[in-house]
């Protein structure tokens, strides 16, 4: 019995730990709930710092309640002081004060946390078109948070907003991913899913080269939370020690499986759909 207990302890000691700093989605398909499910599906122990509470169902945000920046700060502080966190991701940070609090902690993290891999998903607008980030927070996002990232993961709408130009095809995506990487001096994964071609093509720009990350485009599924699931899967793989290319490739596979093997329910005359981040590939 004693041997058994010892064994279990030594196994948990080796489990990678990742932190998500993001909003709560009541429908649990995006935000912190999507991140935790994805971390668990990838065999990583997930920690959370909640930045805001969003009352929503897929496709419709009803209300966003930001958390006090002090409690956002405290959540991260206590976690940094206690856990061996090897990767973190940020999702919806809601407003400028919360972004400032997060940046301060990331900059002054304790020695214990050491070199932290950081995935910044620059959440601004939901797939449904709902505005999620207060517009005056974008400048601080860009100036203070983005440069701290190991990887920035904008979708096309976010990239267009950041660059102030249209991105309508793959050549424009190639230009945009380079421009973003040059501007913030970080690796960038530009997600092209919203182009709706035959293939869902994303572009990873890192160490001076652009790589295509491709999966078949899955039609007919009204997705919600793909960006969160993708960046959480990448953070999970980085937490386990994968290099960036591998982490992104695995993340793409996780999202594709989550869409392909989605959940669907009938609710009156409506049909409601949710991603299945537990689907598909085994944790590596």
Nearer to ligand PXL, 232 or 238 (CB): 232
What the block records as the tokens of 261 is 């093997």
What the block records as the tokens of 271 is 């049909």
Token pair 């449904």 in the structure block, residue: 128
CB of residue 241 vs ligand PXL: minimum separation in angstroms?
Answer: 27
Active site residues: 191, 223, 225-228
Site string for ligand PXL, 236-255 (x = CB under 6 A): --------------------
Q: Could you give the CA distance from residue 206 to residue 211 in angstroms, rounded to a whole number?
A: 8
Site string for ligand PXL, 120-159 (x = CB under 6 A): ---x--x-----x---------------------------
Binder to ligand PXL among 16, 19, 31, 232 (CB under 6 A)? 31
* Stretch touching ligand PXL by CB under 6 A, among 17-25, 38-46, 143-151, 171-179: 17-25
Cα 174 versus chain centre, distance: 21
The verdict on 91 binding ligand PXL (CB under 6 A) reads yes
3 state SS of 6: helix
* Stretch touching ligand PXL by CB under 6 A, among 19-27, 40-48, 99-107, 265-273: 19-27
* Stretch touching ligand PXL by CB under 6 A, among 20-28, 138-146, 182-190, 208-216: 20-28
Residues constituting the chain: 284
* Stretch touching ligand PXL by CB under 6 A, among 23-31, 139-147, 205-213, 215-223: 23-31
CB of residue 185 vs ligand PXL: minimum separation in angstroms?
Answer: 25
DSSP letter for each residue of 146-172: GGG-SEE--BHHHHHHHHTS---SHHH
The verdict on 225 binding ligand PXL (CB under 6 A) reads yes
The verdict on 176 binding ligand PXL (CB under 6 A) reads no
The verdict on 30 binding ligand PXL (CB under 6 A) reads yes
| Residues numbered 47-76 forming contacts with ligand PXL, rule: CB under 6 A | 54, 56, 61
Binder to ligand PXL among 23, 46, 66, 154 (CB under 6 A)? 23
Nearer to ligand PXL, 113 or 120 (CB): 120
Q: For residues 46 and 20, is the Cβ–Cβ distance under 8 A?
A: yes
User: Among residues 68, 65, 37, which one has the least CA distance to residue 52?
Assistant: 65
Buried b (16+ CB within 10 A) or exposed e, 259-279: beebeeeeeeeeebbbbbbeb
Which residues are CB-contacts of 216 (< 8 A; sequence separation ≥ 6)?
Answer: 198, 199, 200, 256
Binder to ligand PXL among 21, 76, 87, 92 (CB under 6 A)? 92
Residue 44 dihedral angles phi and psi, to the nearest 5°:
-115, 140
Q: Could you give the CA distance from residue 261 to residue 275 in angstroms, rounded to a whole number?
A: 7
Helix axes 31-41, 226-239, angle to 10 degrees: 40
Note the residues at the interface with ligand PXL (CB under 6 A): 22-23, 25, 30-31, 54, 56, 61, 91-92, 123, 126, 132, 225, 227-228
């Amino acid at each position: 019995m004693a041997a058994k207990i010892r064994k279990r302890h030594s196994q948990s000691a080796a489990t990678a730990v990742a932190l998500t700093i993001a909003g709560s989605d009541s429908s649990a398909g995006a935000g912190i709930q999507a991140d935790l499910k994805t971390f668990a599906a990838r065999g990583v122990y997930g920690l959370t710092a909640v930045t805001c509470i969003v009352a929503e169902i897929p496709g419709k945000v009803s209300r966003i309640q930001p958390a006090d920046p002090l409690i956002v700060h405290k959540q991260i502080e206590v976690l940094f002081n206690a856990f061996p966190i090897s990767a973190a991701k940020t999702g919806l940070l809601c407003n400028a004060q919360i972004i400032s609090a997060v940046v301060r902690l990331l900059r002054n993290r304790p020695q214990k946390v050491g070199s932290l891999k950081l995935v910044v998903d620059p959440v601004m607008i939901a797939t449904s078109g709902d505005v999620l980030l207060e517009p005056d927070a974008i400048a601080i996002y860009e100036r203070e948070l983005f440069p701290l990232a190991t990887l920035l993961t904008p979708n096309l709408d976010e990239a267009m907003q950041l660059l102030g130009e249209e991105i309508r095809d793959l050549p424009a995506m190639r230009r945009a991913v380079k421009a973003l990487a040059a501007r913030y001096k970080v690796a960038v994964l530009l997600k092209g899913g919203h182009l709706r071609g035959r293939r869902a093509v994303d572009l990873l720009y890192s160490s001076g080269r652009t790589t295509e990350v491709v999966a078949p485009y899955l039609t007919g599924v009204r997705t919600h939370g793909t960006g969160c699931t993708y960046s959480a899967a990448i953070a999970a793989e980085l937490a386990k020690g994968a290099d960036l290319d591998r982490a992104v490739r695995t993340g793409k596979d996780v999202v594709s499986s989550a869409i392909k093997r989605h959940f669907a329910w009938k609710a009156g005359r409506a049909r409601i759909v949710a991603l299945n981040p537990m689907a598909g590939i085994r944790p590596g």
